[in-house]
């Protein structure tokens, strides 16, 4: 018989149909508590949540019987990637993958074969395919409930709880670290991973405060509770049957078009136009630059002395925001560029992903400036516009990683 002092909770189940939470102990005994109030809204597609504290996994079952498995964050763990390659898909590529995975008629056999490979590698824990806040937004605003559900299910099943940290927060972290390094305070640089299981990583505090717990409750149980709450909410949000509305027009598209058209009319060389783009960008980032310099302990007078060149240097040397700058240069300097409403979202998320991921798959009009920027920055992220092409490159990288080195061989 198991010693009572060694007993532990092995499974926690929230059952919508039974309207109860079930706690299962290591000796097989159960305790049932009513779900009052129920966390399942009328528009929720979830039927059941199962959480195993020991194995750090959350299994969500939908009303249609599909399952979503999420890895859960481990408190204090610095790296849970465990050597897996990171593959980031742009929203349109997730749609192609979803259609191919479901065997849609309009998907090609090459795409269906690629879909099988991606799922196989995810299941084998060889790659990670993180979701971003952009994916949640783009999926949630689709008009067709059935297509929205199928796409959301694909993203969730492949991402398994992995997410890309909010690019706006990554940008701030990079600027902060750049200022710290310039002040010879590298130990104060921020080291939050870009691809992570951390709770609340999808949205930075500048957009959403998140869920804060009283300091007295900051312990292992509180951490698990918070992680479980955020993971459950993420799954429920992605699969909710109610469509979300599109955000208000910020005017960014029209402003970018006016700026590109103005550059087209200037009788200047590319270097002069690049400086004009940098001025335009620094103006847009002036608040982040000032706030992160202050957070890094940069004296106001020194910040002023660094001036425009120093601020651009901080931007240019950072993986994500530096790549965003290169994409801006490429697109603004390309004569007769037409800006689309979704271009800002694509550029912000793709530049962040390409700054840190191993592979990125996106459509051509974003791939070209992204590749150009990566070359200028001397970075080696693989960028592809077709799923089968990415699969071939990933397969090669996985094969190389599995070959033992001379030092490791007998």
pLDDT at 209: 46
Q: pLDDT tens for residues 80-128?
A: 999 999 999 999 999 999 999 999 988 999 999 999 999 999 999 999 9
pLDDT at 225: 85
Q: pLDDT tens for residues 155-171?
A: 999 999 999 999 999 99
Sign of CA dihedral 339, 341, 342, 347: positive
User: End-to-end alpha-carbon separation of the chain, Å?
Assistant: 47
Residue 26 DSSP one-character state:
T
Give 410's pLDDT tier (boundaries 50, 70, 90).
very low
Non-local (6+) Cβ contacts of 365 within 8 A are none
**Could you tell me the pTM of the whole model?**
0.92
pLDDT at 257 over 70: yes
Q: What is the mean pLDDT of residues 359-386?
A: 96
Q: What is the mean pLDDT of residues 3-12?
A: 81
Q: pLDDT tens for residues 198-241?
A: 988 998 877 654 445 444 445 767 888 889 999 999 999 999 99
In terms of DSSP bridges, do strands 359-361 and 85-89 run parallel, antiparallel, or are they unpaired? parallel
Sign of CA dihedral 366, 372, 377, 382: positive
Other Cβ atoms within 10 Å of 7 Cβ, number: 12
pLDDT at 178 over 50: yes
pLDDT at 247: 82
pLDDT at 5: 64
Query: Taking a C-beta distance cutoff of 8 angstroms, is the pair 185, 293 a contact?
Result: no
Query: Taking a C-beta distance cutoff of 8 angstroms, is the pair 52, 10 a contact?
Result: yes
pLDDT at 208: 55
Q: pLDDT tens for residues 260-296?
A: 999 999 999 999 999 999 999 999 999 999 999 999 9
Residue 241 DSSP one-character state:
S
CA distance linking residue 211 with residue 231, whole number of Å: 12
pLDDT at 293: 96
Q: pLDDT tens for residues 14-63?
A: 999 999 999 999 999 999 999 988 999 999 999 999 999 888 899 999 99
| Closest by Cα among 390, 410, 335 to 85 | 390
Sign of CA dihedral 261, 262, 266, 268: negative
Q: pLDDT tens for residues 287-324?
A: 999 999 999 999 999 999 999 999 999 999 999 999 99
CA distance linking residue 107 with residue 300, whole number of Å: 57
pLDDT at 36: 87
Q: What is the mean pLDDT of the chain?
A: 91
């Amino acid at each position: 018989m198991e010693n009572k002092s060694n007993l532990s909770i092995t499974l926690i189940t929230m059952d919508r149909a039974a309207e109860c939470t079930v706690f299962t102990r290591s000796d097989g005994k159960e305790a049932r508590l009513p779900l009052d109030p129920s966390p399942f809204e009328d528009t929720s597609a979830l039927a059941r949540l199962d959480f195993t504290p020991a194995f750090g996994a959350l299994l969500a079952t939908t009303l249609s019987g599909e399952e979503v498995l999420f890895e859960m964050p481990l408190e204090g763990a610095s790296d849970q990637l465990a050597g897996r390659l990171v593959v980031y898909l742009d929203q349109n590529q997730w749609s192609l993958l979803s259609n191919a995975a479901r065997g849609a008629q309009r998907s090609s056999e090459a795409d269906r074969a690629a879909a099988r490979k991606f799922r196989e590698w995810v299941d084998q824990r060889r790659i990670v395919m993180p979701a971003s806040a952009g994916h949640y937004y783009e999926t949630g605003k689709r008009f067709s409930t059935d297509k929205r559900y199928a796409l959301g299910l694909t993203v969730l099943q492949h991402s398994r709880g992995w997410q890309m940290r909010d690019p706006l927060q990554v940008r701030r972290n990079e600027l902060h670290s750049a200022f710290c390094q310039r002040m010879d305070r590298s130990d104060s640089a921020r080291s939050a991973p870009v691809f992570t299981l951390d709770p609340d990583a999808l949205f930075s505090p500048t957009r959403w405060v998140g869920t804060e717990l009283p300091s007295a409750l900051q312990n292992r149980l509180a951490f698990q509770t918070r992680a479980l709450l955020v993971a459950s909410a993420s799954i429920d949000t992605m699969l909710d049957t109610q469509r979300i509305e599109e955000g208000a027009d910020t005017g960014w598209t029209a402003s970018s078009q006016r700026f590109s058209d103005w550059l087209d009319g200037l009788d200047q060389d590319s270097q002069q136009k690049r400086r004009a783009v940098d001025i335009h960008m620094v103006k847009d980032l002036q608040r982040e630059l000032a706030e992160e310099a202050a957070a890094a302990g940069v004296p106001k007078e020194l910040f002023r002395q660094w001036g425009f060149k120093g601020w651009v240097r901080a931007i240019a040397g950072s993986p994500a925001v530096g790549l965003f700058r290169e994409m801006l240069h490429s697109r603004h300097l390309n004569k007769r560029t037409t800006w689309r409403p979704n271009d800002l979202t694509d550029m912000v998320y793709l530049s962040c992903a390409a700054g840190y991921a191993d592979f990125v798959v996106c459509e051509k009009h974003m791939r070209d400036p992204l590749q150009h920027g990566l070359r200028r920055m001397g970075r080696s992220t693989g960028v592809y516009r077709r799923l089968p092409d990415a699969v071939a490159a990933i397969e090669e990288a996985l094969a190389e990683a599995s070959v033992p080195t001379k030092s490791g061989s007998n």
